[in-house]
Chain A
Amino acid sequence: MARTILPFGPQHPVLPEPLHLKLTIEDETVVEALPTLGYVHRGLEKLCEVRDFNQMIQIVERVCGICSCLHALCYCEGVEQIMGVEVPRRAKYLRTIWGELHRVHSHLLWLGLFADAFGFESLFMQFWRVRERIMDIMEATCGNRVVVSVNVIGGVRRDLTPEQCAWIEQEVAIAEKEIRQLTSTILNDYTVKKRCCGKGVLTKDQAYQLGAVGPMLRGSGWAQDARQTGYAAFGELGFEPIVEFDGDCYARSAVRFRETLQSLDLVRLAIARMPAGETATNVGGAGDDDTPQVIGGKRGDIMQAYNRDKSHRVVAAPPPNLDIPAGAIAAKVKGKPQGEAVTRVEQPRGELMYYLKADGSKHMDRVRIRTPTFANIPPLLAMLPGCELADVPVIVLSIDPCISCTER
């Protein structure tokens, strides 16, 4: 039979980002798929050679537009590991809370887009309406909606007041109620099931051998989640990954849907267990505790806040070359990292891995970012052959592609 090569993307209604697939089709059946990348490559890894290691926090946050907090978290944990810094417990919990809120809003975004991919516009609107509540929490607690910029090496830049905690709990409860109302639609609706069940099947062995991560891996029956390694406060929260066994698009969307609810629970649990012994002023090693006198205050106040912080701050031992100009509070992180570290966190899309190498200067030697979508593209290539052309958008979207992440 005659074969046709059909370009899918880089601009396609279901793709929020430019991924190009060359689909070889026979009739309506896909025989082969070849990816082409490079539309949004920005060379962020390379930037580590010209920006110092503190500035890299804001740069790695911009690897992904959706899960920025977790990129910064992964990077900071890596540098802290190299420098031997122990983060205060409250900061760990705050990182957990913001990280989980990021997961919730990312999954809601994806669930909306997924509904949109098979033409269910009303469901898309419903999910994004709920997501707006989470975005409001971000804006009120972090200062920005998406690229929150709260993580710094040694802690977090902002703290939650008890009123904010109560408000978050309240908002999270409403969001959960609203999400539960959508359960029957996203999981049981006839149209949804017809479009998702049995499409793009990835068997258990295939998923593992092809290096799938995140909901792709868990949708195929593997209970593996980087949160089990206990980064941030996950070690203390008790965490069970969510697993589905069918390995099709439906299983993956079910994993993400259930994870959304689980993350809301984790947010509540983290708020409830957040250590109260350390008060807001003691949070983090980075000085800013979000009290107004620090942000807009005079020198005296800042010096006071800075000195207060120094008391509990663990500086890397042994401190290498200290070159803080006298009186400058700008150098909040003393010393420079030297060594290597590999850190992993669970992004909404899957396991994110950073390999960091520092040579003791103020620039990192190498920042290697392995994003989850990068690992999920080979399984996508394995899933596409044999499927119908009409199912390609749904299958492509079911890996939750984030191409900006992939190409960095």
Chain B
Amino acid sequence: MFNMTKNVVANLFAKSSTRLYPFAVRGHFEGFRGTLHINIDECIFCRTCMIKCPSQCIAVDNKAGTWTCEAMSCVYCGVCVDVCPTGCLSMSKEHRPVATEKQTMAYQGVPKKKKKEAAE
């Protein structure tokens, strides 16, 4: 009984233990793997991310210069970010927005010419 009274009093004066959601949003910590981004201008289409991706959600075409990612298949492990040789992939801490259908992230870049062609 005494315990109970103590708890009741403590709870009456304690702060709310939940957030008032639409007004107080939790946010994410630094370093949270929320969304995958690519800086397509720096991408060299080496296909490393495509080969290393455990869920095989990335498709790279080095001839056409396209980079696509099935956003719904991505497991946000960050392996592609680690292996990218140019550091053009990055992860931001915000989630992708809610969507009503499956989305594909598609980017078109300029395929890199071979060294010989570039020199000419």
Contacts and interface: CB of A to CB of B under 8 A. Distances in A.
Contact of B33 (A54, A129, A143, A299): A143
22 contacts: A51-B54, A55-B53, A55-B54, A55-B79, A56-B54, A58-B54, A58-B75, A58-B77, A58-B79, A59-B54, A139-B29, A144-B32, A144-B76, A149-B77, A149-B78, A287-B82, A296-B90, A299-B85, A302-B85, A328-B85, A330-B52, A332-B82
A141 B29 CA distance: 9
Interface string A98-133: 000000000000000000000000000000010000
Contacts of B64: none
A290 interface: yes
Chain A's interface size range is: 35 or more
Chain B's interface size range is: 20 to 34
Interface in B14-52: 17, 28-33, 46, 48, 51-52
Contacts, number: 75
Contact of B87 (A140, A143, A296): A296
B48 A129 contact: no
A58 B55 contact: yes
A288 interface: yes
A144 B33 contact: yes
B82 A139 contact: no
Contacts of B48: 328, 330
A302 B85 CA distance: 8
Contacts of A157: 78, 82
Contacts of A62: 75
B44 to A, nearest CB: 10
Nearest to A136: B29
Interface string A32-63: 00000000000000000001001111110010
Nearest to A302: B87
Nearest to B34: A143
Contacts of A332: 82-83
A298 B46 contact: no
B60 interface: no
